[in-house]
Amino acid sequence: MIYSSGKYVYGRDMKYRKFGKLDWQVSALGFGAMRLPVLNGNQGQVDEAQVIKMIRYAVDHGVNYIDSAYGYHRGNSEIVIGKALQGDYRGKMKIATKLPCHEANSPKDFDRILNDQLKKLQTDKIDFYLLHHLNKLVWPKMRDMGILKWADSAIADGRIGYFGFSYHDSFETFQEIINAYDNWTLCQIQYNYMDEDIQAGTKGLEYAYKKGLAVVIMEPIKGGRIAVPPEKVAEIWANAPVQRTPQEWALRWVWNHPEVSAVLSGMSKMEHVIQNVALAEHSEPFNLTAGEITMIGKVRDTYRLLGPVSCTACRYCMPCPNGVEIPRILEFYNEAILFNDSDRRRRMYSDRHMLTDDQRADKCIKCGICLEKCPQKLPIPELLEKAHAYLTQK
C-alpha cells in the first residue's frame, strides 16, 4: 500500500521522491551496479546468481531505479541487469546507464554503443541515459561532436527515455553544462558530508534542483571510505545521543536534503541490500536534528584535520596563472593518505580525462600568487611539490 503526503510518497518499506519534472516517483534508495559481487576476485566475472537475487530482492522491497554504465565490471554489469529484470521485474525497475565519453571518438560511436547496451540489457528502451563522467575536458569534446542533437533523435526514436549526465568537476563547469541544454532530465553527482564543497557540491545540488533536474547521488559513503572511521572519528560517533552505524549517519545526511531525488548505493553482498532497504525506511528529508547536523560537521572537521592538507576547497587560489588545478590536486593527495586510497588517486592523477599534463602539480612555477589568496595560509607550492611526488610514485 502506497499513500501520498505532498511531495513525498511513502510505502510500507520504501519511501519515494519526485524525480525532477517527471510525473514519476523514484525510490529514495537506488541500486548502484558498479560494485557487484564477483567470482575469484575477477571484476569481469560477476556472480550472476547472487546478483540476480540481490536485484530482485531490491525490486520486491520497493527499489525502482538501478544505475549502471557501459564499462562497469568490464562490460558485464549491464548483462546481468538484463538477466535479472526479465519477466515482470522489468516493468518495476527503471534502468539508468551511461555512454562512455572516453570511448566515443566520432558521432558513429554513439549509436554503436547505445545499440550494444540495449542488446546487453535485453530491452528496447533505456529509461535514463547519461553521459558518463563529464568534466571541463570531456564536455567540449562531446558537445562539439553533436551529442545533444543525437540525444534528441534517440529520444524521438524511442531508444532512450530521458537524457542526463554524471559529473566530476567544479561547480562552474557543472553550471555551464546545465545551461547548455534545455532537455536535461537528470544529473548524477558525488555528494556526501565530506564533499559539501567539492566538485558540484551543495551549490550544484541546489542549482540543478532549481532548474528542475532530478539529482541522483553517487558515493554517499564515499565509496565506503567513511564506513570504517579512524579512532578520533569513531569517538564522536560513540558519543552520539542516538547510536547508528557510520553508514547510516552518512546516508541520513544525504537523504536529509530535500533537493536529492535518489541515493545510489553500490552493494556487493545480499546483506548490504537488506541493510540499505531497511535504512531507507527512514529516508525522509529533514530527518536529522540540528544537533545531529552539528555533530556530523564535527566529524567532517575531524577527518580534515587528520589529512596532510587542511584545504577546504574554497578555490580562492584559482585560477592559477599557470593553469595548475590546485584544489583538485590537493584533494587527490589528501584522500590518498586519509582514506588509504593511494592506488586509485594515483590513477586519477595520471588520467588525462581528469587532469591534462599542463594542469598537474609539476607545472607550478612558484609565483606565490596563491599564497596571497589562501585564507588557510597554506604553503601551496610546497604542498603541490609533495603531492606530485606522492601521486606519481610507482
Tens of pLDDT along 344-367?
899 999 988 889 999 999 999 999
Tens of pLDDT along 74-118?
999 999 999 999 999 999 999 999 999 999 999 999 999 999 999
* CA pair distance 332, 335, nearest whole angstrom: 5
Q: Is the pLDDT of residue 4 over 60?
A: no
Tens of pLDDT along 142-154?
999 999 999 999 9
Mean pLDDT of 303-315: 82
> Given pLDDT bands bounded at 50, 70 and 90, which one contains residue 194?
very high
Share of the chain above pLDDT 70, in %: 97
CB 330 within 8 A of CB 360: no
**Beta strand pairing call for 42-46 and 94-100:** unpaired
- Residue ranges covered by each domain of the chain: 3-289, 307-391
Q: What is the CATH number of domain 3-289?
A: 3.20.20.100
Q: In what order do the strands lie in the sheet with 15-18?
A: 3-5, 8-10, 15-18, 25-27
* CA pair distance 305, 322, nearest whole angstrom: 29
Q: What is the pLDDT of residue 12?
A: 52
Strand ranges, E, within the chain: 3-5, 8-10, 15-18, 25-27, 29-32, 38-39, 42-46, 65-67, 94-100, 126-134, 160-167, 184-190, 214-218, 262-266
Q: pTM for this one?
A: 0.86
